Amino acid sequence: MPRTDEPFALVILGASGDLTRRKLVPALWSLYAGRTLPEPFAIIGSARSEASADEFRRRMRATVREFARVKPPSENVWDRFASALSYVPGDPADPALYAKLEAALREMEGARPGPANRLLYCATPPSLYETIIGNLGASGLARPQGGWTRIIVEKPFGRDYESARALNRQLGAVFREEQIYRIDHYLGKETVQNLLVLRFANTIFEPLWNRNHVAEVQITVAEALGVETRGTYYEEAGALRDMMQNHLLQLLCLLAMEPPVTFDAGPVHDEKNKVMHAIRPIDPRKIDEVALRGQYGPGFVEGKAVVGYRQEKGVAPDSRTDTYAALRLLVDNWRWAGVPFYLRTGKRMAKRVSEIAIRFHRTPHMIFHRDPSGVEPNELVIRIQPDEGMALTVAAKTPGPELKLGTVGLDFRYGEVFGAEPPEAYERLLLDAVHGDSTLYARADWVEHAWSLLGPVLDAWAQDSAAQPYRYEAGSWGPAEADAFISRDGGAWRKP
């Protein structure tokens, strides 16, 4: 990541929340320690609770020690970073807060050379977005003040098509589209970016990347974690809203899109949108053919006994929230017609693993075996996390006098090849926002389209008459019914 020296100030609204603690400040610190954060910079945290700048710095120091990729190397370096941190307490609903923020920004900007570049980060619960956006507009904070002003909006971006549209409209009334950065942290993951490099910086894959060669695609984002402390949020969300509408559909679009003319925001967003347009709309009368939901019961994850979802804090004892969701989507265009895309995500699954698996057709005629089913078709697996890398399986002759075939993997592991630990997604994305590059962010129309695609499923699952989610044991690969769901096409879920 190139280092540029353009001063900026970041205002984090929601600075006492989990996101600031676990992701934002650790990412900013790692960038700073890696000498990639433009300087001079200032970070203003803001939240309701009263605290002094020193208290905020102390809290952030503990946070960085716990969560940052790069640990503080010395007090000296930390002190320099910490001197850029300040704290402005206040209620986001109170216009007085925005006057205080403006004054704090002006003071900092007056004390250093360079333009007033401002990045505003909305890291509060989404119920506050409307109020915050309104106040940013009314106070004048949304308007550039001689430099650039940008806003990053965290997910969830709405909870359905209507609310996402309303949020886009509110944002659009106050900011121009090029000021708005809708974050999806999956797009900042190294291996997700590598998917694009794999596709568009090599010639050998592109000729195979279509229905003539690909039989099926499986996208899996499995988590071993449960809902942790977020039961109340999760009850309102569920796996389809929390993961599928954003992370998994983004992966599908990057995998399926046509080559953009350049790797810039406009062309990349246009190509992703074309995929969204090509996904076959879900027929409300045939939801069960396209979507399946599950909910974890008690079980064992990584050797530890864990409670079921309904026993989690903040969860209703008769909750119907989906902690597992699977979709079967078709992309109706020349490249992908007839190729099923299976997407699944779940909490409390056997292990944490995110991957994209592309299964190719079987050989048209197998000359080595009377029974061709003994030979697995080629498969390309892109491992997003953990153990980032990719593997291609090919058939090979096993050693010995007989001509017997086996499947071997050509395996590439990031850690082994490049050694260095990849940066966290938030590092990349924060830096991109500072540099004004929204390629790895979500555009308004994409977000709305993703919600509208899933609308029929969300509606069907919200009905009182809908069947209960299928149960699966915590620590398993999801409900047994998911196997029947995929086997209709003759396939089976991978066990990564």
242 lies in the binding site for ligand BG6 (CB under 6 A): yes
Residues in contact with ligand BG6, counted by CB under 6 A, come to a total of 4
- Using CA atoms, how far apart are residues 360 and 495, in angstroms rounded to an integer? 17
**In the window 172-211, what residues touch ligand BG6 (CB under 6 A)?**
185
Shortest distance, position 349 Cβ to ligand BG6, whole Å: 12
Tell me whether residue 260 or residue 346 sits nearer to ligand BG6 (CB atom): 346
Please confirm, yes or no, whether 365 is among the known catalytic residues.
no
Shortest distance, position 181 Cβ to ligand BG6, whole Å: 16
| Contact call for residues 383 and 389 (beta carbons, < 8 A) | yes
Tell me whether residue 135 or residue 354 sits nearer to ligand BG6 (CB atom): 354
Q: Which of 393, 395, 392, 391 is CA-nearest to residue 372?
A: 395
Tell me whether residue 242 or residue 322 sits nearer to ligand BG6 (CB atom): 242
Tell me whether residue 216 or residue 242 sits nearer to ligand BG6 (CB atom): 242
Please pick, from the candidates 109, 223, 427, 448, the single residue that binds ligand BG6 as defined by CB under 6 A: 223
Tell me whether residue 150 or residue 155 sits nearer to ligand BG6 (CB atom): 155
Shortest distance, position 347 Cβ to ligand BG6, whole Å: 7
| Contact call for residues 101 and 1 (beta carbons, < 8 A) | no
**Of residues 185, 247, 269, 449, which has the active-site annotation?**
247
Tell me whether residue 56 or residue 309 sits nearer to ligand BG6 (CB atom): 309
**49 CB-side CA count, 13 A:** 10
Which residue in the shown chain puts its C-beta closest to ligand BG6? Answer: 242
Shortest distance, position 385 Cβ to ligand BG6, whole Å: 6
Buried b (16+ CB within 10 A) or exposed e, 150-181: bbbbbbbbbbbbebbbebbebbeebbeeebbb
427 lies in the binding site for ligand BG6 (CB under 6 A): no
Site string for ligand BG6, 130-159 (x = CB under 6 A): -------------------------x----
Residues 6+ apart with CB under 8 A from 86: 42, 43, 44, 45, 53, 56, 104
Residues 6+ apart with CB under 8 A from 202: none
- Using CA atoms, how far apart are residues 43 and 368, in angstroms rounded to an integer? 65
Shortest distance, position 301 Cβ to ligand BG6, whole Å: 14
473 lies in the binding site for ligand BG6 (CB under 6 A): no
Shortest distance, position 207 Cβ to ligand BG6, whole Å: 32
Catalogue the active-site residues: 247
Binding site for ligand BG6 (CB under 6 A): 155, 185, 223, 242
